[in-house]
Amino acid sequence: MAHYAYSNTPEKMRVWDNKEFIDWIAWAAMEGWLFTVKDEMDELQCLAIARPVDEAPDWTGPPQVNPDGRGVYLDLVVNTGNLETMRVLAQLLLQKFGNRKYLAYSQQGNLVVRDYDRTRKALLKDRT
């Protein structure tokens, strides 16, 4: 079985073999950058890898990790689609990284950079 990082352009498609994918997950866990959200039945609802970075990565090279950097880069988010799990993830990121200037991630092969505080507040906003 192979794991795919997909995008809307074939040249940005990346195929990961099992060992490479597992090593990457283990590396993130060892660094403290692996986040999980479980429901009341202890079932996994969200898995994410996020790391502190200095500047938003531009896909010409890997993001440069900087514990005191101005941003957080989301390498991976696998979510059941439940907004509540994203709220919990936002709280976990705030606990781990504190407040930063921006949150960056790739969406369909394009770099997206959001204001960290505004995104966090929008996720945590009471929607009742």
Instruction: Return the SS3 of 113.
Output: strand
The predicted pLDDT at position 111 comes to 81
Query: Using one digit for the tens of pLDDT, what is the confidence trace for 100-113?
Result: 999 988 877 778 88
For the chain, the domains span 33-124
Q: Check: CB of residue 93 under 8 Å from CB of residue 114.
A: no
Secondary-structure class of domain 33-124 per CATH:
alpha beta
Query: Using one digit for the tens of pLDDT, what is the confidence trace for 10-50?
Result: 445 567 778 888 888 899 999 999 999 998 999 999 999 99
**84-114 burial: b if 16+ Cβ within 10 Å, else e:** ebbbbbbebbbeebeebebbbbbeeeeeeeb
